[in-house]
Amino acid sequence: MRIAILSRNPRLYSTKRLVEAGEEKGHEMHVLDPLRCYMNINARESSIHRKGETLPKFDAVIPRIGASITFFGTAVLRQFEMIGTYPLNESVAISRSRDKLRSLQLLSRRGVGLPVTGFASQPQDVPDLLEMVGGAPLVIKLLEGTQGIGVVLAETRQAAESVIEAFMGLKSPIMVQEYIKEAGGADIRCLVIGDKVIAAMKRQAKSGEFRSNLHRGGSASLVKLTAAERATAVKAAKIMGLNVAGVDILRSNHGPLVMEVNSSPGLEGIEAATEKDVAGQIISFIEKNAKAHKTRTKGKG
């Protein structure tokens, strides 16, 4: 097959591994920078161009679209979908997963366990909002944050109010969330492909820190999942419409709670922690599932 990887940087671990895994299985792999793709959108035959040339037809496309280029990146991916290329993850599903609130709403509608989460626009609604999620201690998150930046644990009500006031003053949308203390500064990353969790790791925050992000000094180790955790991760990916997803779960005293669902999960941490060939399994999934014009949405919506 001819497979495109939409990635800004061919030297990234995940991109390199996907190229390697694809070539090992005899495929023709092309890394395309989504920001260097431009589109001809018309009523007869839309096309994608790069450096003055029309791109050839690809059998499949693997989107590795960073959060900062979601808007243009998903438009390029949608163009691939419209001309019949099989997308590993669809543009609509990626857009959904990039909006933390929308994701939580979609998951809650289907009864997936979540930390109780509140969202408000106006400062005068903050006192009731804090009450609603169970009061301090609680977690405050910037909607746009990544890698743990913009995630704050407020131990007291006063601390919570002043942090929220500061964020609202800066016009940065935030959500407040019940603090899952019993998770003990750890979360579980489940790597879902199709309807299976094919690898999982536990990330433990360094001491004195509640955020388990590896970028914040957390460490990864192997973990054995319960049946409920596996089922939750697979269900969450399915609801989001993602074939491949990194589902982050907190272990609470009332079962697994989904924190977020990532549409371009990094491969480095999970392949190192589990010694699994995640990239190879992604290529195998494409081999089994890729068909021209096979999408749920054909770029609609």
Known binding residues: 141, 178-179, 187, 211-213, 248, 260, 262
Q: Is 259 in the site for ligand ATP (CB under 6 A)?
A: yes
Residues in contact with Mg ion by CB under 5 A are 260, 262
Q: Which of 29, 82, 180, 279 binds ligand ATP (CB under 6 A)?
A: 180
Burial class (CB in 10 A: 0-12, 13-18, 19+), 284: middle
Q: What is the DSSP letter of 224?
A: P
Give whole-number Cα distances, 130 to 156, 160, 169, 171, 180, in Å.
11, 8, 18, 19, 15
Tokens of 276: 């699994």
282 binds, among ligand ATP, Mg ion, none (CB under 5 to 8 A by kind): none
| Residue 138 contacts residue 160 (beta carbons within 8 Å) | yes
Give the contact letters, 106-135, x = binds to ligand ATP (CB under 6 A), - = no.
---------x--------------------
Beta strands 60-63; 86-87: pairing state: parallel
Question: Binding to ligand ATP by residue 140, rule CB under 6 A?
Answer: no
Q: Which partner in Mg ion, ligand ATP, none is near 211 (CB below 5 to 8 A by kind)?
A: ligand ATP
Per partner kind, with CB cut-offs from 5 to 8 A, the member of ligand ATP, Mg ion, none near residue 147 is: ligand ATP
Q: Does 197 bind ligand ATP (CB under 6 A)?
A: no
Residue 188 Cα to chain centre, angstroms: 14
In the bound state with ligand ATP, the residue whose beta carbon lies nearer, of 92 and 174, is 174
| For Mg ion, the closer CB: 39 or 119 | 119
Contact between 167 and ligand ATP per CB under 6 A? no
Give how many residues touch ligand ATP by CB under 6 A.
22
Going 189 to 193 to 194 to 196, the CA torsion angle's sign is: negative
Helix (H) or strand (E) holding 30: strand 28-32
Q: Which of residues 205 and 282 has its CB atom nearest to Mg ion in the complex? A: 205
User: Could you please report the per-residue DSSP string of 127-159?
Assistant: HHHHHHTTSSSEEEEETT--TTTTEEEE-SHHH
Choice from 213, 219, 284, 297 touching ligand ATP (CB under 6 A) = 213
Residues that bind ligand ATP (CB under 6 A): 115, 139, 141, 145-148, 151, 177-180, 183, 187, 210-213, 248, 250, 259-260
